[in-house]
Amino acid sequence: MTLAILCSGQGAQHAAMFRMLAGEEGVRPILKRVGDLTGLDPFAASLDASPEALAANRVAQPLVVGHALAAHAILAARGITAAVYTGYSAGEFAAHGCSGALDALAILDLMARRAAVMDACVRDAAQGMLATIGLPLGEAEARARLAGVFVAIVNGPDHVVVGGQLAALERYEADAAARARHMRRLPVRVASHTPLMAAAAPGLRSMLESSGWRTPSAPTLSGLDGRSLQTPADAALYLSRQVHDRIDWARCVECVLEYGATAILEIGPGRALTKMIEESHPGTPVRAFEDFRTPAGAASWASRFA
Torsions phi, psi of 123, nearest 5?
50, -130
Residue 103 lies in a domain: yes
Q: How many other CB atoms are found less than 10 A from the CB of residue 55?
A: 18
32 and 66 assigned to the same domain: yes
166 and 267 assigned to the same domain: no
Torsions phi, psi of 24, nearest 5?
-85, 145
Alpha helix stretches (DSSP H) within 161-231: 166-176, 201-209
Residue 190 lies in a domain: no
Give the per-residue pLDDT at 166.
Answer: 97
116 and 31 assigned to the same domain: yes
Q: What is the pTM of this model?
A: 0.97
30 and 173 assigned to the same domain: no
Element (H, E) at 85: strand 84-87
Give the per-residue pLDDT at 29.
Answer: 97
Rounded distance between C-alpha atoms, residue 70 and residue 31, angstroms = 7
- The DSSP annotation for 49-71 comes to S-HHHHTSHHHHHHHHHHHHHHH
Strands 286-288 and 263-267: parallel
Calculate the alpha carbon distances from 49 to 41, 53, 56, 164 in Å.
10, 6, 11, 26
Residue 112 lies in a domain: yes
Which amino acid is residue 26, in one-letter code? G
Give the per-residue pLDDT at 124.
Answer: 79
Residue 54 lies in a domain: yes
Which CATH number characterizes residue 137's domain? 3.30.70.250
Residue 272 lies in a domain: yes
99 and 31 assigned to the same domain: yes
Residue 279 lies in a domain: yes
Give the per-residue pLDDT at 135.
Answer: 96
154 and 220 assigned to the same domain: no
Number of structural domains the chain divides into = 2
Residue 273 lies in a domain: yes
Q: Which of 161, 185, 209 is the last residue of a domain?
A: 185
Q: Which residues of 106-125 are buried (b: 16+ CB within 10 A; e: fewer)?
A: ebbbbbbbbbebbbebbeee
Q: Which of 138, 159, 185 is the last residue of a domain?
A: 185
132 and 115 assigned to the same domain: no
277 and 199 assigned to the same domain: yes
Spatial CB neighbours of 24, under 8 Å, sequence gap ≥ 6: 70, 74, 295
Question: Is residue 201 within 8 Å of 244, Cβ to Cβ?
Answer: yes
Q: How many other CB atoms are found less than 10 A from the CB of residue 130?
A: 24
Q: pLDDT tens, position by position, for the chain (306 residues)?
A: 799 999 999 999 999 999 999 999 899 999 999 999 999 999 999 999 999 999 999 999 999 999 999 999 999 999 999 999 999 999 999 999 999 999 999 999 999 999 999 999 998 789 999 999 999 999 999 999 999 999 999 999 999 999 999 999 999 999 999 999 999 999 999 999 999 999 999 999 999 999 999 999 999 999 999 999 999 999 999 999 999 999 999 999 999 999 999 999 999 999 999 999 999 999 999 999 999 999 999 999 999 998
215 and 297 assigned to the same domain: yes
206 and 166 assigned to the same domain: no
Residue 141 lies in a domain: yes
30 and 176 assigned to the same domain: no
Give the per-residue pLDDT at 306.
Answer: 85
- The DSSP annotation for 137-201 comes to HHHHHHHHHHHT-EEEEEEETTEEEEEEEHHHHHHHHHHHTTT-SEEEE-S-SS-TTSGGGGGGH
Q: Which of 135, 164, 185 is the last residue of a domain?
A: 185
Torsions phi, psi of 253, nearest 5?
-65, -40
17 and 138 assigned to the same domain: no
Element (H, E) at 119: helix 104-119
Domain carrying residue 219: 3-121+195-303
